[in-house]
Amino acid sequence: MLVQQVTIKKPVSMAGVGLHTGVHTHMTFKPAPANYGIRFKRVDLEGAPEIPADVDHVVEVARGTTLAVGAARVHTTEHVLAAISGLQVDNIVVELDNIEPPIGDGSAKPFVDMLFEAGLEEQDEPKDYLIIDQVIHYQDSEKGVDIVALPTNDFRLSVMVDYNNPALGSQHTGLFDLEKEFVTEYASARTFCFLHEVEVLRDHGLIKGGNLDNAIVIVDRDLSNDELKRLTAKLGISQSIILGSTGTLNDKKLHYRNEPARHKLVDLIGDLALIGAPLKAQILAARPGHASNVEFAKKVRKLYQQKKLVKKYQHEKKQGVVFDINAIMRILPHRYPFLLVDKIVDFEIDKRVVGVKSVTINELFFQGHFPGQPVMPGVLIVEAMAQAGGILLLNGIENPGTKLVYFTSINNVKFRKPVVPGDQLYLDVEMVQRRSRIIQIRGRAFVDGVLVAEGDFTAAIVDRQDVQAS
């Protein structure tokens, strides 16, 4: 059953102080058309630049996720994104007149309340779900971080936190139904930090807007009365501070026994929104943070972009085939007698492609190369590898059929074994480097698992019309 995309019915606004920058910001949620996505808009800057909410625009992950386009930045986007994603809103404009959204009470709930006030509205386009059909694993062994995506037919999240700190201990939480559980069980979970971090964060120019009304401070050290007074003055907090006896500064009552773990899950939902599509997957996360969340989201977004490209060009699903000959002809400008790739059987966006060329006696070149002893010309094996490599240009190139790839250098080419009629060439090509319209690839050709040719190539991508004009 198709599920439609969602936006909001009307604009709705709030104002407040940003957690880290301390700036006062007026923020407005506005409806957006189908397939627009989530975008932040800095209306205080010339031209009101828009910043798409995706991992390609993440520029900083220090205690929050910062997005940017050029000089336009938005700090601490995760709580806003968690509210939008948690209510399954697909298309929305988030207008800001400053560099950071209001922090509210430190949770996603103020933004959830805004969205409910605006009202949700279905649109005419179906949701573009990313269905995870393979295991995706991110690991940072130094920080003890593990995040895994597993195939499932719905969306589930499990989070475990353990900071090796007796003040917090180990906590875990799990969300199994986004629609039923996010608002009631997770949206109100507030941001937190340890007491020993507070002064360090402030010294690094962070938490300028933080106070005991928008964050939980977990007591993990003893302070004298004089130290408490000094800390109060440094943070600019007018209210008195006590260490308390409940484990939180000023004995602040938790909304949930495992509120820190729940807030980490909220942060993860916000950062996963940067993939750019709603997920159908089970996510298991141990000790996640914004840096690890973003790195994991990058891996998943690569899969999303790859699936979109495959769907764009391959109109019929075929077992063991990524792109058939019809898809290849939609991608490459080559035609008979110079199209030398029959199908693509493996494809990792921006990384690697494996193409297949079935060599038959009907090839035109065998009439003269060589009569009575047909051998595929080495230069055509090189060309076949280059054509397979052309598939790697799909990401970031609009209308690849309008482009031509010109070799600027061919190096380290070696031919190991003749290729003859009846052979099936496997063309294994990997991306070495890509700078704008200059690419470097390395290709290897195999027959029955035996290397028959290899080489390194540099090429320039040009518009076909520019070549014709010259």
User: Which residues carry out catalysis?
Assistant: 290, 369
Q: Name the burial class of residue 465, with classes exposed (0-12), middle (13-18) and buried (19+) by CB atoms within 10 angstroms of its CB.
A: exposed
Cβ-based neighbour number of residue 81 at 10 Å: 26
Vertex 132: Cα angle to 128 and 134 (nearest 5): 150
d(CA 124, CA 159): 35
Three-class DSSP labels, the chain: CCCEEEEECCCEEEEEECCCCCCEEEEEEEECCCCCCEEEEECCCCCCCEEECCHHHEEECCCCCEEEECCEEECCCHHHHHHHHHCCCCCEEEEECCCCCCCCCCCCHHHHHHHHHHCEEEEEEECCCEECCCCEEEEECCCCEEEEEEECCCEEEEEEEECCCCCCCEEEEEECCHHHHHHHHHCCCCCEEEHHHHHHHHHCCCCCCCCCCCCEEECCCCCCHHHHHHHHHHHCCCCCCCCCCCCEHHHCCCCCCCHHHHHHHHHHHHHHHHHCCCEEEEEEEECCCHHHHHHHHHHHHHHHHHHHHHHHHCCCCECCECECHHHHHHHCCCCCCCCCCCEEEEEECCCEEEEEEECCCCCHHHHCCCCCCCCCCHHHHHHHHHHHHHHHHCCCCCCHHHEEEEEEEEEEEEECCCCCCCCEEEEEEEEEEEECCEEEEEEEEEECCEEEEEEEEEEEEEEHHHHHHC
d(CA 170, CA 264): 13
d(CA 26, CA 35): 26
Q: How far apart are the first and last CA of the chain?
A: 52
**Is the peptide bond preceding residue 407 cis, with omega within 30 degrees of 0?**
no
Cβ-based neighbour number of residue 166 at 10 Å: 8
